[in-house]
């Protein structure tokens, strides 16, 4: 339970406080939980250096001064500070004290340190490394050398032998989130060491179980592991597991894992012995091919969607030729929005959100506004933001322009209107799937006046 403790232990008292807080909140068995967070000290971003000027007899030189310059830019003076957080600057040269000593904080790097007495330069220590490894720094490798190699014991332990722990700590050492732990983990037997990122829980290699969670948050596990018999051809599986937070589990700090995604080699019912992918859920999970995620979707109405230099909005896209690269409106910087009647840009080309049907234009496939009521193959047009590959939204969720004055409610079947080219209407009497654009997710105009969000657009 010391593996979260940094090299310096002078902040160890915080661990006691944290454990006390933890145990007062939940009935936690410390022995089976992730260890407390590391102490947060030292603070600041600077590295500390101290030295002493002595003469050849061993006596301190009390009237010396010290000048510090960056090794890679010796014509400049290095900014020195009296504290690690850059609050109090030190002017140069730095005078030694009565014992010939001097000290300063400085940004990590290599420095030339010159000791002088009066105006006489004595000697310069060249390229003195001043790097506190506990502070942010760059480690340089080469074509032959890894910058950092992290090695763990070959012996199974009651924790996962973490290689890296990522923490977000307050200045007093308080853990504000659970730790992310990267482990090269030993399996129950053989050489099934796997790579796993665990959040908010540790792994007990001896018992092959997870520990209690560290904080009142969900727990996650991303696992990459070899499967099969050691010594023979082995494939790797990939899995993502999830556990709700203790407050969602009635206060239990024991993770209740659900495997949400697995790619593995195994025999599975109705699938057979071949490698397969499995997407699981928590019982109510939908599986969607196409659009449907937070922070995305809804064609053409996303803030900042510019016709050029932007990836497309959500959806499964299919290429259509003969759509002009100049978007509706004019100019490369035009926002791809054209609320209003069809006809923005030019009379031949639709706008995002318009109801269109494919048509042949010479030897290429184009799109034109749907002009018939419940027209077959009607779909929602979207314009890919860049390049020469305009596309239509073929699967998923979209904002579709609605015929003026038409009312649409959630769940309504949405078809082309017919009376206003390029627009949609609700028609729950339509049964031909080829004529159904999709199903309304909202009342018309709820997201954007003149439009309605639909799902399951025609393909």
Partner 1 sequence: MLRRRLVLTGLAVSVVGARAWAVCPALQPPTFYTYQSDAATVELVVVNTTLAGIDHWSVSRTETGGSPVLLFPNRLSPSTTSITDQGQGLQAGHSYSYTLTATDVNSMQTSYTAAAHDVGNRVDHSLNPSTITLGTAFGFDPRPGGTRLFWGTSRNDGTFPTIFPSIIGPLFPKYIGSARHPATNAALACATVTVNDSTTGQPATLWADRYGNFPHPNPMTADRHGTFEFYTWNGTYDLSINGGTVQYSLTSVTIFDARSPDVAHGDATSAMTLVTSADQATADGNIHLKITRPNSTDGNDAGDAAYRLLANESTSAWAVTYNLGVDEQTNAVNFDADRRAAFFFRVNAASRAMEFGIDPAYATTDGDINWISRSPLLETLLHVGPDRAHFKSLLAPVGVQATAGQNGIASGNVVAFQPDGTVALTTTTRQLHPYAVLGVDEASGSSVAGSSRVFLSVGGRSNVWVRGVANVNDPLTATSDGYAQPASAETDARYILGYAAASGGVSNTLVLLPVRTR
> In the set 122, 207, 224, 330, which binds partner 1 (CB under 8 A)?
122
**Cβ-contact 131, 106 below 8 angstroms:** no
Please give the full DSSP string across 174-228, using - where no structure is assigned.
-BSSPPEEEEEE--SSTT--EEEEEESEEEETTTTEEEEESSSS-EEEEEEEEES
- 431 CB-near residues (< 8 Å, 6+ apart): none
β-pairing, 258-264 vs 276-279, is: antiparallel
Residue 145 touches partner 1, criterion: CB under 8 A = yes
Burial class (CB in 10 A: 0-12, 13-18, 19+), 180: middle
- 234 CB-near residues (< 8 Å, 6+ apart): 226, 227, 228
**CB of residue 404 vs partner 1: minimum separation in angstroms?**
27
Binding span for partner 1 by CB under 8 A among 186-194, 267-275, 336-344, 420-428: 267-275
CA distance 234 to 225: 10
Binding span for partner 1 by CB under 8 A among 24-32, 86-94, 185-193, 279-287: 279-287
Distances (CA, A) of 29 to 20, 26, 32, 103, 211: 12, 9, 6, 45, 10
Binding to partner 1 (CB under 8 A) within 371-400 occurs at 376-377, 384-389, 391, 394-396
Residue 302 touches partner 1, criterion: CB under 8 A = yes
Which residues make beta-bridge pairs with 438? 414
Binding span for partner 1 by CB under 8 A among 48-56, 81-89, 414-422, 448-456: 48-56
**CB of residue 367 vs partner 1: minimum separation in angstroms?**
11
**CB of residue 135 vs partner 1: minimum separation in angstroms?**
8
Q: Which is nearer to partner 1, 17 or 150 (CB)?
A: 150
Binding to partner 1 (CB under 8 A) within 168-227 occurs at 168-171, 174, 176-177, 179-181, 197, 199, 218, 220, 222
Binding to partner 1 (CB under 8 A) within 2-21 occurs at 2-6
CA 391 to chain centre: 28
Number of residues lying near partner 1 (CB under 8 A): 157
Residue 310 touches partner 1, criterion: CB under 8 A = yes
**CB of residue 354 vs partner 1: minimum separation in angstroms?**
18
Positions of E strands within 336-441: 355-361, 364-369, 379-381, 391-395, 398-401, 413-416, 424-426, 438-440
**CB of residue 198 vs partner 1: minimum separation in angstroms?**
10
> In the set 32, 325, 341, 430, which binds partner 1 (CB under 8 A)?
325
Residue with tokens 């318009």: 354
Residue 165 touches partner 1, criterion: CB under 8 A = yes
231: its two tokens: 């010594």
Q: Kindly provide the b/e burial profile for residues 127-157, where b requires at least 16 CB atoms within 10 angstroms of the residue's own CB.
A: eeebbbeebeeeeeeeeeeeeeeeeeeeebe
Binding to partner 1 (CB under 8 A) within 99-118 occurs at 108, 110, 112, 114-115, 117
CA distance 446 to 164: 47
Residue 292 touches partner 1, criterion: CB under 8 A = yes
**CB of residue 407 vs partner 1: minimum separation in angstroms?**
29
Residue 323 touches partner 1, criterion: CB under 8 A = no
The candidate with the shortest Cα–Cα distance to 401, out of 459, 337, 326, is 337
> In the set 10, 72, 87, 409, which binds partner 1 (CB under 8 A)?
72
Residue 260 touches partner 1, criterion: CB under 8 A = yes
**CB of residue 113 vs partner 1: minimum separation in angstroms?**
8
Residue 143 touches partner 1, criterion: CB under 8 A = yes
**Cβ-contact 175, 196 below 8 angstroms:** no
**CB of residue 190 vs partner 1: minimum separation in angstroms?**
21
Binding mask 334-363 for partner 1 (x = CB under 8 A): -----------------------xxxx---
């Amino acid at each position: 339970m010391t593996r979260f403790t940094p090299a310096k232990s002078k902040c160890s008292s915080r661990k006691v406080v944290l454990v006390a807080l933890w145990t007062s909140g939940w009935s936690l068995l410390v022995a089976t939980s992730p260890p407390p967070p590391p102490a947060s000290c030292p603070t600041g971003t600077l590295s500390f250096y101290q030295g002493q000027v002595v003469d050849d007899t061993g006596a301190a030189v009390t009237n010396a001064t010290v000048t510090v310059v960056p090794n890679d830019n010796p014509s400049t003076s290095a900014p020195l500070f009296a504290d690690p957080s850059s609050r109090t600057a030190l002017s140069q040269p730095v005078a030694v004290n009565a014992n010939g000593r001097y000290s300063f904080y400085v940004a990590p790097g290599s420095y030339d340190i010159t000791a002088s007495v009066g105006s006489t330069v004595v000697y310069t220590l060249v390229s003195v490394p001043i790097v506190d490894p506990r502070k942010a720094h760059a480690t340089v490798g080469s074509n032959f050398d890894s910058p950092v190699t992290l090695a763990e014991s070959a012996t199974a332990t009651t924790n996962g032998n973490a290689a890296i722990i990522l923490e977000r700590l307050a200045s007093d050492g308080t853990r504000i989130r659970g730790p992310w732990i990267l482990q090269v983990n030993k399996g129950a037997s053989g050489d099934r060491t796997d790579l796993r990122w665990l959040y908010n829980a540790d792994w007990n290699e001896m018992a092959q179980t997870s520990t209690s969670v560290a904080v009142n948050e969900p727990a996650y596990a991303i696992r990459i592991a070899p499967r099969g018999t050691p010594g023979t051809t082995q494939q790797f599986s990939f899995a993502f597991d999830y556990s709700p937070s203790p407050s969602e589990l009635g206060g239990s700090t024991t993770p209740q894992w659900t495997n949400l995604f697995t790619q593995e080699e195994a025999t599975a019912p109705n699938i057979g012995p071949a490698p397969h992918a499995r997407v699981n859920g928590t019982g109510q999970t939908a599986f969607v091919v196409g659009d449907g995620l937070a922070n995305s979707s809804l064609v053409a109405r996303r803030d900042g969607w510019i016709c050029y230099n932007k990836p497309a909005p959500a959806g499964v896209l299919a290429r259509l030729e003969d759509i002009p690269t100049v978007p509706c409106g004019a100019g490369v910087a035009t926002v791809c929005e054209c609320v209003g009647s069809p006809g923005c840009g030019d009379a031949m080309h639709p706008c995002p959100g318009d109801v269109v049907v494919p048509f042949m234009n010479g030897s290429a496939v184009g799109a034109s506004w749907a002009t018939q009521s419940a027209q077959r193959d009607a779909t929602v047009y979207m314009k890919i933001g860049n390049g020469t590959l305009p596309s239509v939204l073929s699967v998923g969720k979209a904002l579709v322009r609605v015929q003026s004055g038409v009312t649409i409610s959630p769940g309504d079947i949405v078809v082309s209107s017919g009376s206003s080219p390029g627009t949609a209407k609700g028609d729950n009497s339509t049964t031909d799937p080829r004529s159904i654009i999709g199903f309304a997710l909202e009342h018309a105009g709820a997201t954007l006046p003149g439009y309605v969000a639909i799902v399951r657009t025609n393909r």
